Amino acid sequence: MKKIIILLIATVLTRQLYAQGQLTRNQQAVQQAVLKLFNALSNRDSVNLKLFCADDITLYEYGQIWNLDTLINKAIRLNTASDFKRINTIDFINTTISKKAAWTTYLNQADINRDGKQTTVKWIETVVLVKQQKRWKIKVLHSTLIK
């Protein structure tokens, strides 16, 4: 039953993806901020990661509430495997902007190699961004694991 529900949700979301149409320059900038955040995570680069996060970012991951320090600790400092590689595939569903706030929803798939093992993890995520110093920064990231 869960597989049917997930398949139904994925089908509806895929159709909405095509309904969004041509993106504005601002919508593209919002999506680029999200992509660059995940590139920084893949590269274990906390300096660039901070460029795309508001100082008071809140992440809702696996039923927990994280801040920027938690994200850096879990995704970068504790991630010490020498063979680590993460490839992100992000399919945006919708991106909306209202003045200096924006939100976007997307499907996120991470193919991760670590310690000689490959895993694939999928989420549906929504991010709220704020415009600070002429740059879109992630303020809230809510993630739901898709099994």
Summary mean pLDDT of the chain: 89
The CA-CA-CA angle for residues 127, 111, 30, to 5°, reads: 25
Whether the pLDDT of residue 67 is over 90: the answer is: yes
DSSP output for 76-89: IIT---TT-EEEEE
What's the pLDDT score for residue 4?
A: 43
What's the pLDDT score for residue 8?
A: 40
The total of structural domains in the chain comes to 1
Regarding pTM above 0.85, the answer is: no
Range of the domain at 99: 2-146
| CATH code at position 88 | 3.10.450.50
